[in-house]
Structure 1
Amino acid sequence: MFEAKFQTFTDSSDRAAVAKRVAALRAELKKRGLDGLVIPHADRQQNEYLPACEERLAWLAAFTGSAGRAIVLADKAALFVDGRYTLQAAEQTDTAVFEVVLISDMTSEAWLEKNASEGAKIGYDPWLFRTSDVEALTRSCASAGASLVACDSDPVETIWTDRPEPPLGQVALHPVEYSGEAAEAKLARVRAEVAKARADALVVSNPTAVAWAFNIRGADVTHTPLALSFAIVPAEGRPSLFVDGRKLSNQVRDELERLADVRAMDALPAALTDLGYKKQTVRLDNASAADAIARMIRDAGGKIVNAADPITLMKAVKNATEISGSMTAHRRDGAAVANFLAWFDREAPRGKLTEIECVAALESFRRDTGLLKDVSFPTISGSGPNGAIVHYRVTEESNRRIAPGELFLLDSGAQYLDGTTDITRTMTVGAPTDEMRDRFTRVLKGHIGIARAIFPDDASGSQLDTFARQHLWSAGLDYNHGTGHGVGSYLSVHEGPASISKVNTVPLKRGMILSNEPGYYKTGAYGIRIENLVLVVEAPKVEGAEKPLNCFETITLAPIDQRLVLPSLLTAEESAWFDAYHARVRAEIGPLVEGQTAEWLENATAPLGS
């Protein structure tokens, strides 16, 4: 009945091949005089989602998560993951070859310090690591009496004989009607920041920053409209844009050449070296610039200034056009999600729906808008125990039926020209247990705590994170991921520099869009997450306030399953927020749906307890 066109359900990893491939890698390392290798989940630009040709961890270790690192030594190997992927990594890789290590228990640097032999030479590809990563690894090797060695070429690529070709997605211009600001004006702002920092040039290594600054989008990276590219923006003069010319139509090339010197990707090393020969001071972003970039500039005589790319903050603070577009995208997307939820409530009790069918159905409802460009990440569709795997990705092998008495967690998003969406809903099939309702309501209280927060203009996400966890903590519970991440404007669904987490100290600025997604996961049983996107706005005036105040405006619009709520656990203020949110969903989404969905929406958004 439904079909998924933007997602597949085959498991591309090959657990059975892990031992053979690691043995081949060890043989290659021995040839090169190396005793080990550090392999990241990364490409030359530190993208979260990688082209197939850059999925080294998936090929070598059979791990397909979006973050991780492996270390292969002559006699042992380890795969390092964060809390999102603990279960997934153990299920995917060959644990007879790779020890799976949770980085909160031991970092890769600490493991290397403990396990590297004295005198060992540990290799790394300088194009795949940031300078800060290299510095940390160098210290670990030194503590073990070993040394870190930069490889001239990637050893994994040498043995990866059937490696896919690099992508050639076409570059498209992103019109001002969606971007809200001409590329000329953006580049002028960037040049001003470079000059203000007393630098001669900025190397833009993050393709999302290139996309924003030049008002372009591409098709090189799965689910994120990026063109793999670099740029150099001088304080004075024309920028240089480095991109494969085969991706440019004549129209796009002509437009870009108005703004910059358009050069081939293989011209980048010479351009970086030239900056060094000219003794220029070059600004690099620690978060995305490859160590190879810094080495080329420094070795040629240039000076490196490590600082955040100014584009990162510019991009994160949405302008009026981007905000308006996001609101429109979320109303459209909310109607598609409502169509899905109404369909799910009709079909799920029969006990025949599968996780894959739900992914395909939701994507189909989004495609029915006629404006869907892609999903913004692989949909997380987890029933029962699969819902407890935080970043679960359903495959044909793992696909299970959604049975009565289970919870079903669906985390999904869409890419539209006017905005990027990300929403999670947890639904019950049949009657939930008292424990499920208790846990869901505690997560909901945390979600409402973030949604209702009022905070100083210079507050950061780390100061708000506790608002989401306190009701779980009071019951001895928690979740092992951040509470919220930034979201781009028809760009990356995970965008810096700000987030709501225990560790992020970047101030939340008006115009930023972030997620609000506390959760709870009972291994082997069920998962719960409630996610809306929120916009940082000026808070209503407070009598006697001594500093500017901000708050969040929720922009995601879709019902939250009332059957999972214990009203007795909510305060009057929380109940009022819940009812007001549903009244707004009904008012804004109601006119966009019809038939069975319209009737379902009336019931799903009725006042709590009615």
Structure 2
Amino acid sequence: MYQSFEVTARPDQGPPRLARLRAEMQAEGLSGFLVPRADAHQGEYVAAHDERLAWLTGFTGSAGFCAALTDVAGVFIDGRYRTQVKAQVADVYTPVPWPDVTLTAWLKEKLPQGGRVGFDPWLHAAGQIRSAEAELQGSGVELIRCDNLVDRIWQDQPPPPMEPVKAHPLEFAGESAADKAARLAGELRKAGQKAAVITLPDSIMWLLNIRGADIPRNPVAHGFAILHDDGRVDLFMAAAKLSGLGDHLGPMVAQHEPDGFLDAVAALSGPVRVDLNTVPQIVADRLGDRLAEGGDPCALPKARKNAAEIAGAAEAHLRDGAAMVELLAWLDAQTPGSLTETQVVTRLEECRRRDNALQDISFETIAGTGPNGAIMHYRVTEETDSRLEDGHLLVLDSGGQYLDGTTDITRTIAIGTVGQEERSCFTRVLKGMIAMSMLRWPVGLAGRDIECVARLPLWAAGQDFNHGVGHGVGAYLSVHEGPQRLARVSHVPLEPGMILSNEPGYYREGAFGIRIENLVVVEEAPTLPGGDGERAMLCWRTLTYAPIDRRLIVAEMLTAEERRWLNAYHAEVAARIGPRVGGDARKWLDAATAPI
């Protein structure tokens, strides 16, 4: 279990906190200060100690940053959070649509005479700073490395997490840590590189076959690592976290306290490989001309799941599917208006916790009914907890962290009698999800090349959604895992073994939201009769098994091929999940998976 702290700011706390930050800026001779949602390890998720953006502004989304100047403070958010940010930040903050408006363009507009904008070099990736400095050339706006000014004024800042680390069994990892390190070291030698600096927590966990609990819902531990070209690993992690590992790390891993990390980086012989998208600027500063640009050496090997990891994920999804069926059957038996979002979240977690392999949920469950469903990353609170009323759509996005795999599933559920417009929109989203599920594509294509397939039915109706079609998923690791994505910005070719989500949606602000999500794994596609046998193709295998709400489907909008896919999928759900549930849940499942 991790230790939890309340770090979010109320809107009325924003003005005085911003005022104190501005006083520190003035004392340092700065025109501004950047506050990212990031920590020194540059992962997507942060511990309570590092929730500086939420503490300062009140915004709790998983991506974004604040640029606080002396007379304006912009909170930069992407399309997922443009509704949420309005409800969370005080009037002293100005929401900025990002990346439509870039930080550098905004700074040049707000500081036309130039200025000194401070940033903590631990909290910004070297590639971000390099690009920003190039774009600000000649503008008079300078980026200045400095101490973290938020830490100076956050008097009750939680301490850094210090949770124990556990060994991840080889039966689930599928490859020993020593073999992984030797394999990656060989790649360094081929590239003529002496070492690689690794800062992403999930990369270190994967490489060393360990798991931690420093981040809520993510089995990772904070630390840094240096992989040498002979397979040795220097691990910089508090000894208190590692005390229960025994001899698991073996002789190839030398353990050090984190405060020795920068000195060790400075002492390395070059070239030293770093991922500019994730390594903190302060590490790049210490390396200087010894820095060799390259991706995180663990990223692609971690993304290409081996046979043990895929088998574990498949089994975890079956148990998770049984928990979902138990929940959906229970929910369907309730009277509209009798439940709140919180009650659904609680019941679903109870269903999952009947599985002894469950370590935690994989993220805070999203249960948004009616207008709340239109907030893509909605989190129910005491203030927003709403009743599931007749005619509502409930967006239920959840997952589990199991020893053998990580799950992530979204179902949109009809509460009572739902209107025709909602059903039509739902069916378009379903058509997009089915289209992606059935897709075959040539080897070498990336997520950006195929993600539009899931949007086409919505585009035909003049509709769309402001998030990616899918994200990578780890093997009992982060529920959001790169570098693979189904998104317009993803240039990473899809490869066998990669697990991704397939989750198109549609959101009508103030009215309803829709999302349907299955996890899928990339496989080599069999050659079809009459096909080009010399052209290698890939396809998906579905991992998620749970019914899709038939009450929301306008059957006449589906093609014959789409109906066949849906009926075959539901038949598989019944066959795979049916033996795992009983009583009323089994009866409900039989009805929910009947052909249409």
> TM (normalized to structure 1)?
0.95
1:462 to partner: Cα distance: 1.0
Quick one: distance in 1 between partners of 2:253 and 2:3?
35
Quick one: distance in 2 between partners of 1:7 and 1:165?
10
Distance 1:454 1:395, change over 3 A: same
Quick one: distance in 2 between partners of 1:106 and 1:143?
19
**Partner of 2:297 in structure 1?**
310
- 1:291 is matched by which residue type in structure 2? Q
**Partner of 1:573 in structure 2?**
561
User: Are 1:550 and 2:538 counterparts?
Assistant: yes
Task: Choose the corresponding residue for 1:320, options 297, 307, 313.
Answer: 307
**Partner of 1:137 in structure 2?**
132
Distance 1:156 1:9, change over 3 A: closer
Q: CA RMSD in A?
A: 1.5
Instruction: Structure 2 unaligned segments of length 5 or more: list them.
Output: none
Q: Following superposition of structure 1 onto structure 2, how do residues 475-514 of structure 1 map, counting pairs within 5 Å?
A: 475-514=461-500
Q: Deviations over 1:496-539 (max 9, x none)?
A: 11111122121110010000000000110000000000010111
Q: Deviations over 1:477-507 (max 9, x none)?
A: 0000000000000000000111111221211
**Partner of 1:585 in structure 2?**
573
> Structure 1 residues 313-322 or 40-49, which shifts more?
40-49
Quick one: distance in 2 between partners of 1:19 and 1:257?
51
> Structure 1 residues 98-107 or 519-528, which shifts more?
98-107
| C-alpha contact (below 8 Å) 2:366/2:398 kept by paired residues | yes
| C-alpha contact (below 8 Å) 2:181/2:231 kept by paired residues | no
Distance 1:55 1:310, change over 3 A: same
| C-alpha contact (below 8 Å) 2:545/2:573 kept by paired residues | yes
**Partner of 2:266 in structure 1?**
273
Q: Deviations over 1:377-424 (max 9, x none)?
A: 111110000000000011111111110111000000100000000000
1:137 to partner: Cα distance: 2.4
Quick one: distance in 1 between partners of 2:384 and 2:220?
30
| C-alpha contact (below 8 Å) 1:10/1:395 kept by paired residues | no
Instruction: Structure 1 unaligned segments of length 5 or more: list them.
Output: none
Quick one: distance in 2 between partners of 1:187 and 1:285?
17
Distance 1:230 1:10, change over 3 A: closer
Q: Following superposition of structure 1 onto structure 2, how do residues 405-444 of structure 1 map, counting pairs within 5 Å?
A: 405-444=391-430
> Structure 1 residues 582-591 or 31-40, which shifts more?
31-40
> Structure 1 residues 355-364 or 496-505, which shifts more?
496-505
> TM (normalized to structure 2)?
0.98
- 1:196 is matched by which residue type in structure 2? K
Task: Choose the corresponding residue for 2:502, options 516, 524, 527.
Answer: 516
User: Are 1:283 and 2:269 counterparts?
Assistant: no
**Partner of 2:98 in structure 1?**
103
**Partner of 2:582 in structure 1?**
594
| C-alpha contact (below 8 Å) 1:461/1:505 kept by paired residues | yes
| C-alpha contact (below 8 Å) 2:182/2:231 kept by paired residues | no
Q: Percent identity?
A: 46
Give 3-state SS (helix, strand or coil) of 2:396's partner.
strand
Quick one: distance in 1 between partners of 2:3 and 2:207?
29
| C-alpha contact (below 8 Å) 1:443/1:471 kept by paired residues | yes
Quick one: distance in 2 between partners of 1:7 and 1:131?
31
Quick one: distance in 2 between partners of 1:443 and 1:512?
23
| C-alpha contact (below 8 Å) 1:113/1:140 kept by paired residues | no
**Partner of 1:160 in structure 2?**
154
**Partner of 1:92 in structure 2?**
88
| C-alpha contact (below 8 Å) 1:537/1:553 kept by paired residues | yes
Distance 1:54 1:11, change over 3 A: closer
User: Are 1:75 and 2:71 counterparts?
Assistant: yes
User: Are 1:17 and 2:17 counterparts?
Assistant: no
1:140 to partner: Cα distance: 4.1
Distance 1:345 1:10, change over 3 A: farther
User: Are 1:458 and 2:451 counterparts?
Assistant: no
Quick one: distance in 1 between partners of 2:37 and 2:567?
43
> Structure 1 residues 363-372 or 379-388, which shifts more?
363-372
Give 3-state SS (helix, strand or coil) of 2:206's partner.
helix
Q: Deviations over 1:91-143 (max 9, x none)?
A: 1011x211001114312221112112424111011110111111232234434
1:71 to partner: Cα distance: 0.3
Distance 1:529 1:73, change over 3 A: same
Quick one: distance in 1 between partners of 2:479 and 2:410?
13
| C-alpha contact (below 8 Å) 1:9/1:395 kept by paired residues | no
**Partner of 1:256 in structure 2?**
249
| C-alpha contact (below 8 Å) 1:557/1:585 kept by paired residues | yes
| C-alpha contact (below 8 Å) 1:532/1:555 kept by paired residues | yes
User: Are 1:200 and 2:194 counterparts?
Assistant: yes
Distance 1:229 1:6, change over 3 A: closer
Quick one: distance in 1 between partners of 2:3 and 2:563?
37
Quick one: distance in 2 between partners of 1:394 and 1:88?
12
**Partner of 1:243 in structure 2?**
237
1:442 to partner: Cα distance: 0.4
User: Are 1:330 and 2:312 counterparts?
Assistant: no
| C-alpha contact (below 8 Å) 1:256/1:262 kept by paired residues | no
Give 3-state SS (helix, strand or coil) of 2:158's partner.
coil
1:540 to partner: Cα distance: 2.0
Distance 1:255 1:369, change over 3 A: closer
Distance 1:535 1:130, change over 3 A: same
| C-alpha contact (below 8 Å) 2:182/2:230 kept by paired residues | no
Quick one: distance in 1 between partners of 2:394 and 2:104?
37
Quick one: distance in 1 between partners of 2:423 and 2:233?
56
- 2:239 is matched by which residue type in structure 1? G
Give 3-state SS (helix, strand or coil) of 2:291's partner.
strand
| C-alpha contact (below 8 Å) 2:373/2:394 kept by paired residues | yes
Task: Choose the corresponding residue for 1:179, options 169, 173, 176.
Answer: 173
Q: Following superposition of structure 1 onto structure 2, how do residues 322-471 of structure 1 map, counting pairs within 5 Å?
A: 322-347=309-334, 349-471=335-457
Distance 1:358 1:146, change over 3 A: same
Quick one: distance in 1 between partners of 2:202 and 2:332?
38
**Partner of 2:58 in structure 1?**
62
> Structure 1 residues 101-110 or 470-479, which shifts more?
101-110
Quick one: distance in 1 between partners of 2:311 and 2:369?
35
| C-alpha contact (below 8 Å) 2:370/2:511 kept by paired residues | yes
| C-alpha contact (below 8 Å) 2:4/2:48 kept by paired residues | no
- 1:343 is matched by which residue type in structure 2? W
Give 3-state SS (helix, strand or coil) of 1:400's partner.
coil
